[in-house]
Amino acid sequence: MKPNRIKSVLIVGGGTAGWMAAAALSRFLGPSLSITLVESDQIATVGVGEATIPQIKHLNAALGIEERDFVARTNGSFKLGIEFIDWHRKGAAYLHNFGSIGLNLQQVPFHHYWLRERSEGATTSLWDYCLNTAAARDMRFAPMEKVGSSPLSGIGYAYHFDATLYGRFLREYAEQRGVSRIEGLIETCRQDPQTGDVSKVCLQDGRELAADLFIDCSGFRGLLIEQALETGYEDWTHWLPCDRAIPVPSSNEAAPIRPYTQSIAHKAGWQWRIPLQHRTGNGHVFSSAHMSEAEATDTLLDNLEGKPLAEPRMIRFVTGRRKQFWNRNVVALGLASGFLEPLESTSIHLVQSGISRLIAMFPDGDIAAADRTEYNRQMVLEYERVRDFIILHYHLNERTDSDFWQDCAAMSVPDSLTAKMDLFRANGRLYHREEDLFTDSSWLQVMLGQGLMPRGYHPIADALPSDQLAGFLGDILKIVGQAAATLPPHADYLARHCPAA
């Protein structure tokens, strides 16, 4: 073992990010590494990360977490996608599904065949060829990897959960694997005068905690990455003007436990509805330049399906990212590393990908500048891809009822996004770029859902004789409909397999 190998890690903060880091590091590096987490009861966690994307299943599998236990312990539910209501224009809705749509033929993505059918006058929606949509419409759910003996893929899904219970669940997991937890308020930190590295954090009660590597999960304040190291922040509010969120839970007796998230566009932002077993999570994300906090609160309260279970609280944020995610011997995760609004439920995933990159590049001895640079390069790219995807939802709108939506439609967008939209607009082509978190299917659904219809399609789709095309598409509709009908109601699946503990 190299004498200067990292032997101790201090995780600063015990929100979702901190406990995810503690769980994963203890699972993969545990015995050779002393892992401590410090958090303060005096500073509450954000605690509203409640919706996820399917990649979380990889984390659960890596940690050996069993799905039904996990859903039961977090009062969770299953998520087939996100329904975007009033986003394209008022009265319109579409589902961004996690499942695949149709079936590719001769290496040509399915939607080109659909575009051909449409150009010949057919009106079937692309979404009708998706099992996730059919299940969501009828509020059905059960895991299904493949559709019977057909070549169609099954259901793609993620979870909704109670973030506080998720934190507790991970804490138990991490402590069982040797992570020590210290309760205490950090007042300041010390840096090595020679290297500038953080050497210890100092608590209000006089204790000092030293470590070789620090993981800053202290939330928006970025105790180490910003307050100590002054890393700097890249501000993206000119593309994503929302800067406030008001979360409020509500009772759920009035609404079914939908197997999907709802995102409802309002005058200057949007509202989420996240169904859990014991309540619904709601929140209104909005631009304070376009709407007052009082009006935003009223809008949210007027659009709850149940009774509010707590006072609404105001969360203020600046969309963007730290200039470096790993600076000196500090790696920032979660809100300390940057913030993108929860429109596509990506924050928890970005914590997950930061942790898995850190584990992949874990230093063998001194921290190599090359490792740090590569880590930052990958994280920047992934953040930017997610940013582009979120901007897409706002930019491609045809709402004329408020300045907010018109400003979003008129704004200039990053070149990377313009290139992607132009390519799709021309001939329906999509390409998966390095570190792109979302699949082509996700981009396809949001582009079409927001009203961007390609002018052309791949000419190979014309090679199929009309009767064969009709047969191919008709078969898929039939198989999808039959498969959906075999699924149980989502509420029954939850009650039977993962009732809230």
Q: Is 120 annotated as a binding residue?
A: no
Q: What is the side-by-side strand order in the sheet with 34-39?
A: 180-183, 34-39, 8-12, 213-216, 330-332, 326-327
- What SS3 state is found at 489? strand
Least CB distance to ligand FAD at residue 425 (A): 30
Tokens of 341: 């609004």
Nearest-10 Cα torsion for 107, 108, 109, 111: -160
In the block, which residue shows the tokens 């014991």? Answer: 278
Least CB distance to ligand FAD at residue 237 (A): 15
Distance in angstroms (rounded) separating the CA atoms of residues 88 and 314: 27
Tokens of 361: 């590049």
Look up 420 and say whether it is catalytic: no
Residue 114 or 325: the one with the smaller Cβ distance to ligand FAD is 325
Residue 261 or 378: the one with the smaller Cβ distance to ligand FAD is 261
Q: Is 219 annotated as a binding residue?
A: no
Q: Is 79 annotated as a binding residue?
A: yes
What does DSSP say about strands 77-79 and 81-85: parallel, antiparallel, or unpaired?
Answer: unpaired
| Catalytic site residue from 2, 79, 267, 323 | 79
Using CB under 6 A as the criterion, which residues of the chain lie in contact with ligand FAD when the complex forms?
Answer: 13-18, 38-40, 43, 45-46, 48-52, 163, 185-186, 217-219, 221, 223, 245, 247, 283, 315, 334-336, 342, 345, 347-348
Q: Is 146 annotated as a binding residue?
A: no
Residue 109 or 354: the one with the smaller Cβ distance to ligand FAD is 354
- Start-to-end C-alpha separation, the chain: 44
Distance in angstroms (rounded) separating the CA atoms of residues 24 and 355: 7
Residue 14 or 454: the one with the smaller Cβ distance to ligand FAD is 14
- DSSP state, residue 310: S
Q: Is 135 annotated as a binding residue?
A: no
Distance in angstroms (rounded) separating the CA atoms of residues 357 and 362: 8
Q: Phi and psi (nearest 5°) for 178?
A: 95, 5
Q: Is 14 annotated as a binding residue?
A: yes
Identity of residue 365: G
Least CB distance to ligand FAD at residue 341 (A): 7
Identity of residue 461: A
Q: Phi and psi (nearest 5°) for 325?
A: -85, -30
Distance in angstroms (rounded) separating the CA atoms of residues 432 and 440: 6
In a 13 Å sphere around the CA of 179, the CA atoms on its Cβ side amount to: 30
Residue 46 or 134: the one with the smaller Cβ distance to ligand FAD is 46
Least CB distance to ligand FAD at residue 333 (A): 7
Q: Is 148 annotated as a binding residue?
A: no
Residue 131 or 248: the one with the smaller Cβ distance to ligand FAD is 248
Known binding-site positions for L-tryptophan: 344
Binding-site residues from annotation for FAD: 14-17, 335, 348
Q: Which residues are annotated as a binding site?
A: 14-17, 79, 335, 344, 348
Catalytic site positions: 79
